Structure 1
Amino acid sequence: MKTINDLAQIIKLWPFHLPDIDHLITRSALFDKTKSKSLKIGIMDTGVDRSHPCFANAKLITKDFSGGSNPVDEIGHGTHCSALLIGHETGRHIGLIPSAELYAAKIIGHHRNGSQHTEKSMVMALKWLIANHVHCIVITLGRHKPSFAIEREIGLAHEKGIIVMASAGNHGGSLPLFPSSIPGVICVSATGKDGLPLPECYTGALVDIFVPGESICSANINHNYSEMSGSSQAAALFCGLLARKLYYYHVL
């Protein structure tokens, strides 16, 4: 695994001004889908409903760090973002890296306890992903309060050559959510169908890249599909496309 220490190395490979999600996916289709077969991606979210048909043939490893023992998604957010990565063709949706292995760490349960996805769940999830030698970690949830323990684990991930990216947050405000605010973490925000930054997302100077994130259709719990908008969807899409592009150029 090669280490990328310079964020500019990553960003210079990326087409900045993509007008919409269709163009985004069309560009990704230039790459052979089989090239994703040895990629290992980590995601930290609400878990995955692996009974959804789009995950029938997926390489999906799940673990619950939310304080329970059930890695199944009870909210839908994690399923939605995960399907953007490894969802298989069901007639309505296919992920950007369907042959990759996805390690899905559940850091929030249905209770959504405000302290439930703070240091303990996030630190344990990061340790698990690092131990499994993933190439990229996408954190599609965040928190307002910084944490030295979480930042330390992300630093260890960087030392292992793991690329870490996180959603900027959908709260607006003057600062992005932690850990997207950490130097070295790629801070991803979203644009709308008009190509402009989504006003509900953080769009300030700490954003590293904007990716389409409005009305993104993907899998949801209970075998459903739904549209969601925000920096989480943008971060998942960026993770998939970045992993494929860096793999294509033999960086991963």
Structure 2
Amino acid sequence: MMKKIVSLWAASFAFFFLSGCDRAPSSGEKQAAPSAEREKPSAVRKEAEIWRERLDAAVASAGREKENGSEHVKALNDVAALYAEGLQNDWVHPLDVRSWCDSVAETGSGYSGETVIGVMFLYGTGIKRDAVAAREWFEYGIGRPGTQRGNALYMLGMMYFKGDGADQDLNKALGLWRKAADEEHPAAMGLLGRAYMEGKMGFEKDAASGLALLEKAANGGNTPSSVYLGNIYAKGQGVERDMERAMKWYE
């Protein structure tokens, strides 16, 4: 069930420690303004009211689908999308969103709302792209338990690797990917496996370590790792040519 939820999440969307809930929110996490400052034109208030109605309906739907695998994940994704929209429009306080993330995590479903929200900010899925806000939600996610922590570690590593929403830093990226691999995150294991096989990103060539990681990644559902293994065995690149093994990974 947990593996199914993780894979469904990945298909739907394409991954900081905080000092506590009383910290000053930064990008993507606005402080609630005093009541006098919160007065909005009637059209804006109406828009917020409609958003709240949509959110309430999505939360209710998620509750109804709690025992229904894929539909539950889809419903939770709908809630996360609405919270991301609410954050960007200042219709909801970040601490309220974290409370929702906590409540979902406590169910033991393996669903990580903060990581999904981070992905939405990173790719601009249904909202305006905000890489800094994405990084902050991923940083929050790495301090959380559950099967989705690996996604937050992996995605945050990508941000440091590319210098997108964070200062470019290969060492930080590698450190995060190693932690994600320790969490058995398939894409992270596949990425590090290729680095070992090819001697890239500061790694010395180590076929044994590379193959071990790639095979775990492929067995965990990472299709690029399966294709990579099939190709190297078919061509004898870094390994002895073996068409039988190649076909196994191509299947």
Quickly name the TM-score band, shorter chain normalised.
Answer: under 0.3
Question: Rg: which structure is higher?
Answer: 2
Q: Which has the higher helix share?
A: 2
Q: Which gives a bigger RCO, structure 1 or 2 (Cα 8 Å, sep 6+)?
A: 1
- In the superposition, the TM-score normalised over structure 1's length comes to 0.28
TM-score for both structures, normalised by structure 2? 0.28
